[in-house]
Amino acid sequence: MDLAFVNIPLVPDPERHPPNSYLFFIVANTGLSGSHRPVAVASCDHGAQSSIQGHTVTRYCLQTMTTLSDPGNRKAIRAELDLAADFYKIDTEGVLLPRVRIPELGCWITGSELDQKRARWWDHSLPQFPFIATCLQVGIGYNPTNGSEDGARKEPLGTAFYDDNLKYGMVIIDISDLDDIHYGIIGLSVRAVQREYGTAEQRDLPPEKRHERRRPLSAIEYMSRYYPERSEGRFPFSNVVNSLQEHPLISISTMDFIWPANDDDDVVATDQDSHRVINDYNSSGDEAISSLIEKIFKTQSFNVSLIDEFRTVPDFQVTFRHLLRERLKRKDFLEPTILGQLLGIAFEAQQHLDWVLFKGLPTDAIMAALEMPELKEAQSICLCIDTIHGTHKQLLESLSMSTSLRELYLFQEPTRESDNSSAQLFLELLSTSHLHLLKCKIVLSGPFSSSLSKRFWLPTSWKINAEACPVQHMFVRRQFKTGGNPVFSPEHFYLGDALLRPERFAAGFLQFLRSLITGETMMDTQLYSFACAPSTLTEMSSKEVSPIPVENSTIPKRPIKRDFERRFLAGLLTDLGNEAVLPVCWPKVHDIIVGSWVVLVSKNWYYDLEAIKTLDHNTFPLPSVQACFIRYAFVRPKANISVENYLENLKPEAIEVCGLKEFLQATAPEVDQDLVDHRLKELEAYISNAPEQIPLGPGLEWVSVLEPHEACVVLRDFLEDAEYVKGNLRLAMEDDPEGRLFIPSTILF
């Protein structure tokens, strides 16, 4: 029997079901006249044998909204919204944003074929607004219990929702006002209709009226409609639904662009949005200010007294910023010192310098502005590096003029063809003499974009700077649940391209260990634990976004098209009875240089042998006789360790081995050590209270640090495995010649 899905009326019907996959749209009123346009799109499903429904939909919605509203993400989001408004102003004909229809993956496609079509590994397109797209990716792809989930996929920004593709529902999140985020769920009712194979006949049910099916549902309406027995407060996920009830619903007009109307649909009047972004300038007095700016450009001279008569104009600074920004679009030359003065006046006493739309700024003008006393309180700056006039070195020289800057937001144009400019700027930053810039919070669009488009953003030959990126490698092994000698499944994660400062790494590391414990059959292979980790250990509920580590997101997980025999001969295999572990692919293991850190993690199992002997197998459920615990170490070499010749310097006396607390003492001494102890105790409590944990045996701890000789053995095993795994990656890239174009050949050798 086959299943086809058809529309059914919105009336009580015990057989109706919601869609089993969803499109997630983040929109904002960045279009002409305040109309809504998408700034990020993703699809979500969990493969051929499962679906996204019910609590999962509402949880993903809430997680995404929580991430988008986090204070640590606001400056970057607002900058990309400015870029989006500029992008849509240019693309009035839709040339830059062609409409895309999600393919109907019919129920006759099953198994691996369906999973491959859904995965779309061939999609290497660059996201126009990568920071917001990453917020969406971790919002629907991160599970605090299990780590990352594989169902989230970036979709083209021009993706449209069509109600004739009944497989998909839709979640819309409107971030026009970050202080008042709106949302809505579209889940058209469908009914499974059985039909015999080979027959084209399909029972068609009356379609819903457009004004009914276009009405967005709240979380409580969605759950009550399809899961009435689960929408009561006694169920655990009611907290998610209740939290979403605090947010208003989107208006119908919010969906006009992403859900095109059909010709035969009823005409529906769309209401106007009540939360439009207000123009950032006051029209009164703007003509006189505009004339003054024009005069300055023509005469190439400026006297600050000319501004004094306008300072009493309401919202003078806001108006002045807007008019100066618009004048710069005409690309006329203005002496950099004068332009720097004008920027100082426009942003006097501002802590955030939002210059992302100030196009054509010379680096000399940026330097002159940052030297102005009016900008001495500036703590953050936002620029579009594609439109800066000057070299990357000159830009960094200019930024170094300010001793007050703590945050650097450096974006590229939505229409860029590569992320090379971000990479070049970062490499220049690593070689700069202005080391204080490395201590700033740095948001570069390149790594955000590259991880989503599955492209390497840094050359594999780049020289690692341990001060900027102290943790290069994380090696994780998980013990299989087998009797006898312990058998482990190894995994390598490369973190050198993730721009993780020490304290942020520590917060992400604690989140990662939690998912490693409770995600028994899964692991955070995409490292979302780090991408949405708090920036400090002070507030662990924060969801400040950083780039998803690129290499782990880019390389294939295993050779998927080779016959089993070839994979068997090529890779690491461990016999577990009659079961063999298929070979995996890792990012390239680089030489471990002096000053850099390697993290080792081992998830081990303890078995109560006496309890196993007396276990009554007739008891249901069977009592637990096991517990998992964590052993780990931070390793720093005293001499460079070559991957090809690791035995030479990999000795207990040649490495420094410590725990998280000592790592932070060495790399971030400003972090409160008592706070670190507190977070480690929280982790121990989380592990000990995890489901089915029994008390540990004598001499064991829930979390402990490896001894130096143990760390040497574990690291030696990983470095030995690395050469074998490199062969797996070669096979995988032979399987995918198109994907190989986006992966440097140097990682294969």
Lowest mean pLDDT among 89-98, 567-576, 717-726: 567-576
Rounded mean pLDDT, 368-380: 96
Is 296 inside any structural domain?
yes
In a domain, 261, yes or no: no
DSSP per-residue letters across 649-697 = T-SGGGEEEE-HHHHHHHH-TTS-HHHHHHHHHHHHHHHHTSTT--PPP
As a whole number, mean pLDDT of residues 2-31 equals: 65
Report the distance separating Cα 498 and Cα 495, nearest Å.
5
pLDDT of residue 588: 85
Average pLDDT on 354-378 reads 96
Question: pLDDT-derived band of residue 105, with 50, 70 and 90 as boundaries?
Answer: low
Question: In this structure, are 375 and 296 located in the same domain?
Answer: yes
Lowest-confidence region among 97-106, 300-309, 396-405: 97-106
182 and 295 in a single domain? The answer is: no
**Which of 297-306, 439-448, 500-509, 655-664 bottoms out in mean pLDDT, i.e. has the lowest?**
297-306
Q: What is the DSSP string of 3-36?
A: EEEEE--SS--TT-B--SEEEEEEEES-SGGG--
pLDDT at 200: 35
- 483 & 374 share domain: no
- For residue 217, give the DSSP letter: B
Which position has the token pair 């070049």? 424
Task: Specify the pLDDT at position 597.
Answer: 96
Q: What is the pLDDT of residues 228-264, one digit of tens each?
A: 766 555 555 578 888 999 999 999 999 999 998 764 4
Q: Work out how many domains the chain is built from and give that number.
A: 3
Q: Is the pLDDT of residue 196 over 50?
A: no
Instruction: Report the distance separating Cα 7 and Cα 227, nearest Å.
Output: 18
The residue among 626 and 468 whose pLDDT is bigger is: 626
Whether 118 and 185 map to the same domain: the answer is yes
- What does the pLDDT look like over 483-530, one tens digit per residue? 678 889 899 999 988 889 999 999 999 999 998 987 755 566 778 999
Give the pLDDT of residue 728.
78
**Does 390 lie in the same domain as 518?**
no
Whether residue 40 is found in the same domain as residue 74: yes
Amino acid identity at 164: D
Cα 330 versus chain centre, distance: 36
Residues 328, 302, single domain; the answer is yes
Q: Measure CA 401 to chain center.
A: 32
pLDDT at 572: 45
Does the structure show a pLDDT above 90 at 722? no
Residues 290, 173 share a domain? no
Asked if residue 30 is part of any domain, the answer here is: yes
Name the pTM for this structure: 0.88
List b or e across 194-206, with b for residues whose CB sees 16 or more CB atoms inside 10 angstroms.
eeeeeeeeeeeee
Dihedrals φ, ψ of 364, to 5°?
Answer: -65, -35
Is there a domain that residue 657 lies in? yes
pLDDT at 212 over 90: no
Q: Same domain, yes or no, for 440 and 475?
A: no
Q: What is the pLDDT of residue 674?
A: 97
Bigger pLDDT: 164 or 522?
A: 164
Predicted local distance difference test score (pLDDT) of residue 271 = 40
- Indicate the pLDDT class of residue 729, thresholds 50, 70 and 90: confident
End-to-end CA distance of the chain: 50
With cut-offs at 50, 70 and 90, classify the pLDDT of residue 684: very high
Percent of the chain with pLDDT over 70: 79
Q: Residue 227 belongs to what domain range?
A: 2-255
Name 448's Cβ contacts closer than 8 Å, sequence gap at least 6: 127, 130, 131, 133, 134, 547, 548
How far apart (Å, rounded) are the C-alpha atoms in residues 560 and 582? 10
